[in-house]
Amino acid sequence: MSFPPLVEPADELTIDEVRRYSRHLIIPDVGMSGQKRLKNAKVLVIGAGGLGSPALLYLAAAGVGTLGIAEFDTVDESNLQRQVIHGVSDIDKPKGLSAKESIAEINPYVNVILHEERLDNDNVFEVFRGYDLIVDGTDNFATRYMVNDAAYFLKIPYVWGSIYRFDGQASVFAPSMADDAPCYRCLYPEPPPPGMVPSCAEGGVLGVLCASIGSIQVNEAIKLLAGIGEPIIGKLMIYDALEMEYRKLKVRKDPNCALCGENPSVTGLIDYDYFCGAISEEAADAAADSTISVSTLEHMLKEREEGTRDFVLVDVREPVEYEINKVPGSVLIPKAEFLNGSALEKLPGVDEGKQVVMYCKTGVRSAETLAVVKGAGYADAVHVGGGVVAWVNQIDPSQPAY
């Protein structure tokens, strides 16, 4: 199903712009009219990271006249494996500024607007207003639901993408463009249980996957802005990079959707952190009085070496993470083994009185395993706040971070 273009055409293209966009202009479906629409378009890209990087580069190269960048983070060395809009000289620079400078090299005719604050309920409407389209490159569920809801209330279509390891997804959510068009909540009515879906920082992502999904997002953005082709509204694109397989699934509008359904229960912005939950209630309760710092752990390890203290230190990350860095004297028992119960066989018996201390990358997974261990009777078990990231930053900077 085709849709009318989101944007009216600009008055004209300059001679320089005609030369620059000539390969677009000779495509019958785009032509002079389509390129003028792109020139007149205002697109907000949320995030200048894995998906935002290729999206911003190709939107700028395509001639989108105004690009907004919502990004508050700074460039880290670990970003460069996939966030191709940044370079070595940009490390520690604000990502939004780095992206703006790269865009200026690609297309000086693009106007870039930086939104360098973290999106939240207080500013999301103000940031979104005035844009014709949103390209969502966020990497967490709380922000995705907020983007979906805010875009729905403002009647702004948006192009969504998601990546993890070798798998990617993309869709267009635009209830304002068609009565039967679904929103993100129609596809995912509820977020996954806390701790069930690792982030890219925990699970990793193949760098080139970002380009695959980001380019799909830009393709859909151009179609929507120029009114060409058939956007994937009501469809979900699924890409498996290992099998080199694309699938397209139908996504129907849910009449019971909490946001766009017949009797909506979400009529305004909500507490998205609470809705999604970084960790489960059980993990939060377990960690409330059982979280130690890395400096405390360092002191405990010295006491263990001196023979004045005895405990078992457990790393609950994956084996590939354990190969990158670790706290000395730890044993590896991945989180999945705690969830299926097999890890308890590898721990000292409850009656032995040996304390169990657990850590992961940042403290989220170890909090989840702490709840399991405490439930099994290890009342004095603790986990390390900040995980191995804090250990490397504060105690042993000779180890690599990731």
CA nearest to 119, candidates 138, 100, 95, 94: 138
Cα–Cα distances in Å, from 335 out to 290, 338, 373, 380? 18, 5, 11, 19
Q: How many of the other CB atoms lie within 10 Å of CB of 105?
A: 8
Predicted pLDDT of residue 38: 98
Q: What is the pLDDT of residue 30?
A: 97
Residue 174 tokens, joined: 């635009």
Domain boundaries, the chain: 15-276, 281-395
pLDDT tens sequence across 162-204: 999 999 999 999 999 999 999 999 999 998 877 667 777 777 8
* Contact predicate 159/181, CB 8 Å: no
Q: In sequence order, what DSSP letters do the residues of 223-241 get, joined into one string?
A: HHHHT-S---BTEEEEEET
| 200 is annotated as an active-site residue | yes
Predicted confidence at residue 309, as pLDDT, reads: 94
Please report where in the chains the tokens 């261990």 appear, as a residue: 373
Eight-state DSSP code of residue 261: S
Q: What is the pLDDT of residue 269?
A: 97
Please tell me whether residue 55 adopts helix, strand or coil conformation: helix
Domain 281-395 has CATH 3.20.20.100: no
Contacts of 222 (CB under 8 A, 6+ apart): 38, 62, 228
All residue ranges of the chain with pLDDT < 70 are: 195-196
384 neighbors 363 (Cβ within 8 angstroms): yes
Query: Which DSSP helix (H) or strand (E) runs through 160?
Result: strand 158-164
From 210, 257, 260, 360, the catalytic residue? 360
Active-site annotation holder among 200, 210, 257, 276: 200
d(CA 99, CA 117): 15
- pLDDT of 204 reads 86
Residue type, 357: V
- Cα end-to-end distance, the chain, whole Å: 44
Dist CA 226 CA 41 (whole Å): 9
pLDDT the model gives residue 144: 96
Residue 279: predicted pLDDT: 76
Kindly report the CATH class assigned to 15-276. alpha beta
Specify which residues 94 forms β-bridges with.
Answer: 74
